[in-house]
Structure 1
Amino acid sequence: MNRFDRRSRLLAAALAALAGYVDAIGFLTLGGFFTSFMSGNSTRLAIGIANQTSAEPLAAGLIATFVIGVVAGSYVGVRAKARRAQMVLAFVALLLAAAAAFGIAGSTEGATIAMVLAMGAENAVFERDGEVVGLTYMTGTLVKLGQRLTTTLLGGPRFAWAPYLLLWLGLVSGAVTGALIFPLLGLGALWPAAAAALGFAVVASRI
């Protein structure tokens, strides 16, 4: 994150908020499974296998769908070249709009698939030297936050940790918002997410 300029960092934090928003909606819809946090789904898969419960097919399906979303987002990004960020985000917006439409049609399964694909694809927005900035999961971000805090304590740059804290705060604030709106709108709460992704695509085109 420290290699990106201030506007890109702010966009990344906004996209983390979008991911938290969608993940909260997915979590509440699926009763404890995630649309972006695949570590959690991997644990649910493992527990399901160990206890022979019905959890493993859903967890495995979510993980596989997420990976497909990453592949699709990366493919769009590679094909878009210099317009990578805006085209990937336009793709994410399309998937989230499809998820909202499935929700209105009463297809929770279709909405879930589209949400997970969107969250996988979102991680392809930022890529540099073959490395991506994870926007939908925070474990690595928190590790980097701790490492940069250590660097600061040892006399290094004073605020090298700040971009990672900003990412985490973005995801948490987005999840809070999603959890508050879902009881009011149900899967219709994905329409604002789709609109936000499209807006971020416009912003990305100017960065």
Structure 2
Amino acid sequence: MTRYDKRFWFLAAGVSSIAGYVDATGFLKLGGLFVSFMSGNSTRLAVGTMMDPQVSIVAGRLIGGFVAGVVAGTIVAALAGSRRKPATLGFVSALLVVAAVINTNVSDVWTTTVMAVAMGSANAIFQRDGEVTIGVTYMTGTLVKFGQRIAGALMGGAPFAWLPYLLLWLGLVGGAVLGTTAYVYFRSANIWLAVAASGLLALYATVLGPVEPAAGRVK
């Protein structure tokens, strides 16, 4: 992540904020399952096979939706070429529109499955040579790198290399707080706010243009 221009740090943090916002909404709607955190859903699926098969089924559906989103987002990004960031964000926005529209007409399970597809697609926004360079919907790797960069700074390395990883994590947590607050006041209608935010980020990505890191694997 540190090899990206600083303008892209804010784009990544913005996408992570949307992921936190949407994930909090899904968590509240489903009572403890996630639309972007598939490690948690994998554990719930495993435990549910013995303790609560219905939870296991829903968790499996969310995982399948997320993987389908990764596939679809990767295809969209590949077809868009150098404009993959705004194109993929536009695709994420369209999926969130679908989730918002069907939200009042179908069960929460299907609404949140579409939300999971959108979150899977979001991971195609930052990639290079077919590999994800910044994971915007999951934070375990980000926190590991955050800790590693702090250790590096303490041992005489770059003093602020940890900053973009902190920004990414704060984006997700802040988005989750906003998503929870919006859900309390607007209930599931708050999905439309995620649509608006995603659309604005698509415009921002268009303004940024197709600038990429000069070379090498993005860390």
TM-score bracket, normalised by the shorter chain, equals over 0.9
Distance between the aligned counterparts of 1:5 and 1:130, measured in 2? Answer: 20
Residue matched to 1:41: 41
The aligned length equals 207
Calculate the TM-score normalised by the size of structure 2.
0.91
1:32 aligned counterpart, secondary structure: coil
Contact residue 102 and residue 108 of structure 1 kept, 8 A: no
1:34 aligned counterpart, secondary structure: coil
Contact residue 27 and residue 35 of structure 1 kept, 8 A: yes
**Residue pairs, 1:25-174, within 5 angstroms:** 25-51=25-51, 53-132=53-132, 133-174=134-175
Q: How far does residue 192 in structure 1 lie from its aligned partner after superposition?
A: 1.0
Structure 1 runs (4+) greater than 4 angstroms displaced: none
Contact residue 61 and residue 113 of structure 2 kept, 8 A: no
1:187 aligns with 2:188: yes
Contact residue 77 and residue 125 of structure 2 kept, 8 A: yes
How large is the RMSD of aligned CA atoms in angstroms? 1.1
Q: How far does residue 110 in structure 1 lie from its aligned partner after superposition?
A: 3.0
Q: How far does residue 206 in structure 1 lie from its aligned partner after superposition?
A: 1.4
Give the letter for the 2:157 counterpart.
G
Q: How far does residue 106 in structure 1 lie from its aligned partner after superposition?
A: 4.5
Distance between the aligned counterparts of 2:119 and 2:126, measured in 1? Answer: 13
Calculate the TM-score normalised by the size of structure 1.
0.97
Gaps of 5+ in 2: 209-219
Q: Percent sequence identity over matched residues?
A: 51
Distance between the aligned counterparts of 1:50 and 1:152, measured in 2? Answer: 46
Distance between the aligned counterparts of 2:7 and 2:29, measured in 1? Answer: 33
2:103 aligned counterpart, secondary structure: helix
